[in-house]
Chain A
Amino acid sequence: MSETERQSPFDVAYVARLARLKLGEDECARLQAQLEDILAYVETLNEVDVSGIEPMTQALETQNVMRADVSAPGLDHAAVMANAPERRLGLFIVPRIIE
């Protein structure tokens, strides 16, 4: 990694690892350039004076949407396991997890 690249706050390799995306070198370089472009465009938001504005976290303001604590059967076990890429003993099988 060159000195100039390191100065860029956007490090596609780091972000890709957070997002669990294994990127090839070409892909990494292309994304680095494209995203730097997009991020530069996004900088236009700095023109907006947002002081005193509350963040909008919901499309429409609603509250207290809840359900009663009642249980009901879920999906049929066989249907669930039919979608599993690898299964055994009624479990979803994954490579060995080191805890």
Chain B
Amino acid sequence: MSWRADIGLEVHVQLRTRSKMFCACPNAFGAEPNTQVCPVCLGYPGALPVINQEAIRLTVRTGLLIDAHINLRSKFDRKNYFYPDQAKNYQISQYDQPLCVGGHLDFSVNGESRRVGITRIHLEEDVAKNIHFDADSGVDFNRAGTPLMEIVTEPDLHAPEDTLAFLQALKQVLQYGGVSDCNLEQGNIRCDINCSVRRADAVNLGTKIEIKNMNTFRGVFRALQAEIPRQIRELERGRAIVQETRRWDDAAGRTESMRGKEDAHDYRYFPEPDLPPIVLSEETITAWRAELPDLPAARRARFVAAFSLPEYDAGVLVSDKEVADYFEETVAAGAPAKAASNWIMTELLARVSESGESIRDLKVAPAGLAALIQLVENRTINGPTAKEVLATMLVEGGDPGEIVSKRGLAQVSDAGALENFIEQVVASHAKSVADYRAGKQPAFEFLIGQVMRLSRGKANPQLVRELLKAKLG
């Protein structure tokens, strides 16, 4: 018998804003506990929320990027439930009038093009962070009240591979939109999975299981790899799936039923009386639409057309927004496009994948790389020297021109100096000279190599070739 899984996601994305959703506390990761808090995000008696307009803009922008319908009238609601990580014991969220409804995201899995429907995108506030000790728990409210965008998909995904590819595509869009840093380590993207299984020929969806609080893409993939067969096994044994919430135990490699979820879903939503509704004009939306950045596919086409890059190069560069930005900045700083592409794809990306850092964390900025490429282009240094200089820059930073002059690495293109090297080589390698004159080409290459060696790699190889040829007649 054949089975089919239906998977939908609720993806929570932390927005890239300076301040929190409803107060001016910094929206920044990594501070000492409870040092980025105020009466509002601590739920102090008497404190009131005020909407961060940038969070509205970023959420609408996300909607525009996935072809959603933007609700011209939107409002906030209170979602009531008690939890120690929730300052007010209600979350300000959006219930029946979210900012965005509908839309879709296209992506590909193994070269096959796919589309996932988006149900809605709404804006809410994040909760605090709990830290567990042996005997008790501690709560840090620095994250409480930071803007959180929730993207809910249709159950259009059917396999762990689909789901992973969708999440990667979504991450790309969010990064392209400047909506979120999508830093997984900092919990910028977290999701809940809704997963059900049915017979391949069944019309209706099976009973839904919710897997909560996934914070890595790899975890989502593995959880589905475990959960789908579990549900199939249950069904094949003739047992019914009971709707429930489960959690993923990464160490054990399986999902398990979550405890302590009594009174589960009576959230008593009602309109937030402290916040007037958001009413967007068509003009605002048109203006925001005009500011949208290229999405990866469009940007790839532009790289091919504007910079005459090969399709392959363009594809590699745009797959990470930061890399694509880095490339464009390098070109803007004066580097020829193909050279910039070559350097980034070979040297820099190798370095990035080794260290796991972002290209922006490298000590070489686009301007530095452009300057280095310039030194090669104007023949101040040759290729091998350039790699040496780059290696130094990656470790110590610094200006390539200065490194070259400080270490005396500049290429020797002075004919007098080169002729001096050539004379020495010709004098000491009579056999090779004779072989060349007898028509053996490898001997010529050997002689060039000797000249380069004598110059400690700094000789301009093109000039050496010309001069040697002239010398040997």
Contact = CB atoms under 8 A, between A and B. Distances in A.
The answer on A and B forming one complex is yes
Interface of A: 17-18, 20, 57-58, 61-75, 77, 80-81, 88-99
A89 B262 CA distance: 31
Contacts of B306: none
B178 to A, nearest CB: 13
Contacts of A90: 32-35, 140
Given A18-B268, A74-B23, A98 B260 contact: yes
B282 interface: no
Contact of A77 (B19, B35, B85, B263): B35
Contact of A69 (B55, B133, B213, B278): B55
A67 B36 contact: no
B54 interface: yes
Contacts of B273: 57-58
Contacts of A80: 34, 37, 42
Given A63-B276, A67-B51, A92 B19 contact: no
Nearest to B260: A98
Given A69-B55, A70-B18, A80-B42, 16 more contacts: A63-B278, A63-B279, A66-B50, A66-B278, A69-B17, A70-B24, A71-B26, A72-B19, A72-B24, A89-B33, A90-B35, A91-B33, A91-B139, A93-B136, A93-B137, A99-B213
B164 interface: no
A70 B19 contact: yes
B243 interface: no
Nearest to A15: B266
A94 B139 contact: yes
Contacts of A93: 136-139
A65 to B, nearest CB: 5
Given A63-B277, A66-B53, A91 B18 contact: no
B39 A88 contact: no
Contact of A97 (B24, B37, B130): B130
Contacts of B1: none
20 contacts: A18-B263, A18-B268, A20-B82, A61-B276, A65-B51, A66-B51, A66-B278, A67-B50, A68-B53, A74-B37, A74-B39, A90-B35, A91-B34, A91-B131, A91-B139, A92-B138, A92-B141, A95-B137, A96-B133, A97-B132
A71 B25 contact: yes
B50 A75 contact: no
B135 A97 contact: no
Interface in B56-114: 56, 75, 80, 82, 84-85, 89
Contacts of B23: 74
Contact of B137 (A17, A20, A63, A97): A97
Given A64-B276, A65-B50, A65-B51, A88 B138 contact: yes
Which residue among A69, A97, A98 has the maximum number of chain B CB atoms within 10 Å of its CB? A69
Interface string B242-284: 0000010000000000011011001010010101111100000
A69 B56 CA distance: 11
- Interface pairs A-B: 3 shortest CB-CB: A91-B138, A74-B38, A69-B54
Interface residues of B, number: 57
Contacts of B55: 69
Interface string B10-45: 000000011100011111000011111111011000
Contacts of A96: 132-133, 135-137
Contacts of A18: 80, 263, 266, 268
Contacts of A67: 24, 50-53
Interface in B114-144: 130-133, 135-141
Contacts of B80: 18
A94 B132 CA distance: 10
Contacts of B36: 74
A73 B259 CA distance: 38
A75 B84 contact: no
A92 B136 contact: no
Contacts of B18: 69-71
Contact of A75 (B37, B82, B138, B271): B37
A30 to B, nearest CB: 23
Contacts of B213: 99
A3 B75 CA distance: 42
A61 B276 CA distance: 8
A97 B277 contact: no
A88 B437 CA distance: 86
B276 A81 contact: no
Which residue among B18, B276, B278 has the maximum number of chain A CB atoms within 10 Å of its CB? B276
Which residue among A61, A70, A91 has the maximum number of chain B CB atoms within 10 Å of its CB? A91
A93 B140 CA distance: 9
A67 B56 CA distance: 11
A90 B41 CA distance: 16
Contacts of B133: 96
B136 A95 contact: yes
B27 A58 contact: no
A73 B36 CA distance: 7
Contacts of B24: 67, 70-72, 74
Given A66-B56, A97-B132, A71 B27 contact: yes
